[in-house]
Amino acid sequence: MKQNSYKFALLYIFVYSAMGAVFPLIGQYLMKLGFTGTQIGIVTASATAIGIVAAPFWGSVYHKTNNSKRVVLLLCFAAVIVPVLLLPISNFALFLMGYIILFFFQIPICPLIDTMTLEGNHDFGSIRKWGAVGYAGGVFVAGQLAAYLGLHWIFIMFSMTSFAAGIMVLFIMRAKTVLKEVEHKNDIYSKRKTVSIPKLLCNKKYVAILLSAFFVMGTNIANNTFFGFLYTSGGGTISGIGLVFLFMAGSEAPCMAWVHRFSNRFTLERMILFAMILSACRFFWYGTGPSAILLMATFFLQGIVNGILLIEFIRYAAKVVDVAFLGLSMTLIQAISCNGSTILCQLIGGYFMDRFGSGAVYIGFAIMNLLGVLVYLSFGLHKKPQENFID
């Protein structure tokens, strides 16, 4: 299995590079097409919204398919074709429809490759860090291509990296596995026949993790939308936003690589609690309106918070469910605790931004994080649990 680790690492790099190519620059692309601010907001929000439906749907398909990696392969190659079809479109309604179709296929790829990594018993943190590297690299390369060759290159790069991701899935599928691993996978597939969302939600530990993550993950994702306003209000420049984001996203990779060592010493349950409290403190401080220099100097806070939460919430969820439920549990976390929470945070953040300014946005985020901490503690999630698998 260790021989295949580099293939999973490359898979994460390519998948997250595609996202890094589009998400930071899609607003500028749509503005160039002549879309209004409201239309841009609708398009960008549609990717998050469709994920609420797409992730559980493809998670269910993944479980019902004997060769589940073929599902991921299909999604990767669909993500190659659709962006190319978007290039000639400048009509708002048609572009919105195409954008929704694109992310109906793309959004579920991330939780499903998490599932593939966990099912293969790979060191999740050391491999997942390459997603952060890929995203940061994707932002940088797409920015250069857009500046010199045009903004339409963000979709070309999306297609190219999605194609590379599909090739890596093919290599992983063709890799030889020992007999014991094959038997283990066959056992998983036989158990998947009884998998369902209602049965998964009978697991109280899993539901508590889902709820705790809901109050934290969305705030840290929505931070990518509102941080620029906070940074410029503190005296920063537009060009500085890209630089600080590069540092913030880049700092996640080493934290993801090291988190497993700290979890072995302090337990993953306590590491999550620490990261949630740090996230709340960080956002309360952001709410005071710190200067751009201080925001730049503390870029590593994002690396610590996201480096722990993005890894350990996944590992915690995997720890309390049977392996047959992995794909479905990962896609539900994506749909509810990431996509659903992000939409709520963007709506709350936008309202607070209009009424009270960027500082108030982060006070609201901090309060949500504290609610997450209360849920986490009240369910005893900070304590190392006994095995709590779903039968």
pLDDT at residue number 350: 80
The length of the chain in residues reads: 391
User: Are the C-beta atoms of 85 and 152 separated by less than 8 Å?
Assistant: no
pLDDT cut 90: percent of the chain above it: 37
Please state, for a pLDDT cut of 70, what percent of the chain lies above it.
Answer: 91
179 pLDDT exceeds 50?
no
Is 137 found in the same domain as 217? no
Q: How confident is the model at residue 80 (pLDDT cuts 50, 70, 90)?
A: very high
Shared-domain flag, residues 183 and 199: no
CATH number of 162's domain? 1.20.1250.20
Query: Do 70 and 52 reside in the same domain of the chain?
Result: yes
Maximum average pLDDT range among 69-83, 106-120, 338-352:
69-83
At 163 the pLDDT is 96
The total number of structural domains in the chain stands at 2
Identify whether residues 150 and 228 lie together within a single domain: no
Alpha helices by DSSP H, listed for 234-267, are 238-250, 252-266
Domain boundary among 141, 160, 193: 193
CA distance linking residue 366 with residue 286, whole number of Å: 9
Mean pLDDT of 294-321: 91
Distance CA(231)–CA(309), nearest Å, equals 24
Q: What is the predicted pLDDT for the residue at 185?
A: 52
Q: Which domain holds residue 308?
A: 195-391
Domain ends where: 139, 173, 193?
Answer: 193
pTM: 0.78
Least confident interval from 187-201, 255-269, 304-318: 187-201
* Winning range, highest mean pLDDT, from 39-48, 79-88, 229-238: 79-88
Instruction: State pLDDT tens for residues 43-60.
Output: 878 888 898 889 889 988
pLDDT value of residue 279:
96
- Per the prediction, the chain carries an average pLDDT of 85
Cα(79)–Cα(146) distance, integer angstroms = 20
Return all residues near 116 (Cβ < 8 A) that are at least 6 apart. 8, 68, 69, 72, 172
If asked whether residues 157 and 254 sit together in one domain, one would say no
- Same domain, residue pair 158 and 269: no
Q: What is the mean pLDDT of residues 175-183?
A: 47
71 lies in the same domain as 215? no
Spatial separation of the C-alpha atoms in residues 256 and 153, rounded to whole Å: 30
Tell me what pLDDT residue 180 has: 42
Q: Helix axis angle, 341-356 relative to 204-233, nearest 10°?
A: 30
End-to-end CA distance of the chain: 27
Residues 13 and 64 in one domain: yes
Same-domain pairing of 262 and 159: no
Q: Are residues 175 and 306 in the same domain?
A: no
Question: Is the alpha carbon torsion for 207, 210, 213, 215 positive or negative?
Answer: negative
In terms of domains, do 21 and 170 share one?
yes
pLDDT digits over 2-44, tens only?
A: 556 888 999 999 999 999 888 878 877 888 898 887 788 788 7
Identify the domain boundary among 141, 159, 193. 193
Same domain, 213 and 279: yes
